[in-house]
Structure 1
Amino acid sequence: MTATTRRFFGIFCLMMFASLLLCAAANSHWDRVPSKDHIRTNPLATHPESVPAGALVYKDHCAQCHRSDAMGDGRKKPALRSEHIRSATDGDLEWFLREGDLRHGMPSWSSLPEAQRWQLVSYLRSIQ
């Protein structure tokens, strides 16, 4: 193997390892979702009124942290228009809304009726 080939191979391996780490870090948040919740589908996904209703829920409960444009604050309040949200299942999103993550500043929205959480999921899907 020539020096150039070894260098190329080394860089390639390093890039692959970094990509795997980034993928694992990006997906680790959803790894906590129980499989029964992960596979759930949004029962309101085909209801046209669920998106505007979800927008109202977002305005009342989410915009104060994630901003009205859902782009977050660039620090502790993450953008909701992101690959991380796009890659989640509807069940992942509803579970996260219900459970929250106080360690990272996300409250549980279990006090919201389940239908409103699903409307919020519909809205989040619509803004992607």
Structure 2
Amino acid sequence: MNIQPYIFFESNCAEAMRFYEKALRGKLEMMVTHAEMPDFDAAKFPPGTAERIMHARLVVDGQVLMASDNGSGMPYDGMKGFTVTLTYPDVAEGKRVFDALAEGGQVRMPFGKTFWAEAFGMTVDRFGTPWMVNAGLSDPTSPN
């Protein structure tokens, strides 16, 4: 079984996923707009939906992050109630990723030593996605 985060953006999913592809050194395997769906009928969706991302899939070291733009026509309440957590055995790589995600965002906890890991930090990136980055754990398969 895999647990895969699915993030919803207001209208900047494409920009965010391209940023994550670079920052996380992943591979964007799919990014499809609503207009690219088979039998898309713009009359059945709110105005502006056609250009929004219906589905995106980013693969990073065999792990999957999926996302889309809010296309429901309902107000977008932002991202809340979750954090995407990344764990790296190498502190330098964890720091590189943390710094990339934090650029233009808001650092909630600076990247530094903790009692459970050689380094840990929390940030909300410029797209509103909350991240926690662990690095240098004694057991890299454990989040803490």
TM-score by length of 1: 0.31
Higher relative contact order structure (alpha carbons within 8 Å, sequence separation ≥ 6): 1
TM-score by length of 2: 0.29
Structure with the largest fraction of helix: 1
